[in-house]
A and B are shown apart, each in its own frame.
Chain A
Amino acid sequence: MSTLHTVNKSPFETNVLEICISLAKSGSTVLLYEDGVYAATEGTRAAVAIKNANGISFCVLGPDLQARGIEGKLANDIKVVDYDGFVDLVAGHDTIQAWL
């Protein structure tokens, strides 16, 4: 069973990304969107947590990065997707868990 986890809150505002990473199984994917994209930026504690999360793939929604002016700060190993890519991720996983 592969799961797509979606996170849309700033890692500085809630600890939901931390909880998501701790409960996500190897082979699952985490998509960061809306204020969740701040976790994908270099120099943050969240980026370190992402780097240390072995076996989990991380994606980030490009339009949300661009809106916030931070696409130049993207950490390594995080894949940027557009809205079509979001749909492909949903279609490509067995289940979706939307963390709020």
Chain B
Amino acid sequence: MATKKFMYLNRKAPYGTVYALESLEVVLIGAAFEQDVSLAFIGDGVYQLVKGQKTDGIGMKNFSPTFAALGDYEVNKIYVEKESLEERGLTLEDLQHLVWEDEDDDYAEKDSIRLVNRSELADVLDDQDIVLSF
């Protein structure tokens, strides 16, 4: 089976709607099919990656720890749009530190998050075979 480039584009904040959780579920299912998977977080989607989420008080599942598992599924291209962070008063320091282990480099731990500006992200999107927007 030919490998295709799948992009999951995340635009929604984590708990106000079910989109963020649904996207993550689809990514995990898709990862089992050994496709070339990327994720991008733009707009309110960047809020999904904010570290220190504690949902006990609202009675909802905190799914943010799942992002840390994506590296084990060889999902290690996670694009975050710089402009979206800035508009929200956020920096990379406010986000989870997501890493993956590179088998071809003696299992060296490498960063999964790639900070890109809007025009760089446009090029990344242009390079995909399939874009799924959540």
Q: Which residues of A contact B (CB under 8 A)?
A: 8-10, 12-13, 34-35, 38, 41-45, 47, 62-64, 66-70, 72-73, 82
Q: Is B100 located at the chain interface by the 8 A CB criterion?
A: no
With A38-B13, A38-B47 known to touch, is A69 a contact of B52 (CB < 8 Å)? yes
Contact B15 A35 (CB under 8 A): yes
Report chain A residues within 8 Å CB of B58: 63-64, 67
Residue of B nearest to A75 (CB): B89
Contact A38 B88 (CB under 8 A): yes
CA of A35 to CA of B54, assembled, Å:
15
Contact A70 B50 (CB under 8 A): yes
Interface centre among A9, A13, A43, A69 (most CB of B within 10 A): A69
A42-B89, A69-B50, A69-B52 given; 6 more Cβ-contact pairs under 8 Å = A12-B87, A34-B15, A35-B13, A44-B88, A66-B55, A69-B64
The digit string for B32-74, where 1 denotes a CB below 8 A from any CB of A, is 0000000000011001001111111110101010000000000
Q: Which of B79-105 contact A (CB under 8 A)?
A: 87-90, 94
Interface centre among B17, B47, B88 (most CB of A within 10 A): B88
Residue of A nearest to B62 (CB): A67
Residue of B nearest to A66 (CB): B54
Residue of A nearest to B59 (CB): A63
Interface centre among A8, A45, A68, A73 (most CB of B within 10 A): A68
CA of A57 to CA of B4, assembled, Å:
52
Q: Which of B1-40 contact A (CB under 8 A)?
A: 13-17
Shortest CB–CB separation between residue A71 and chain B, in angstroms?
8
Shortest CB–CB separation between residue A33 and chain B, in angstroms?
10
Quick one: which of B52, B62, B89 contacts A41, CB cutoff 8 A?
A: B89
Shortest CB–CB separation between residue B88 and chain A, in angstroms?
6
Contact A12 B44 (CB under 8 A): yes
Residue of A nearest to B15 (CB): A67
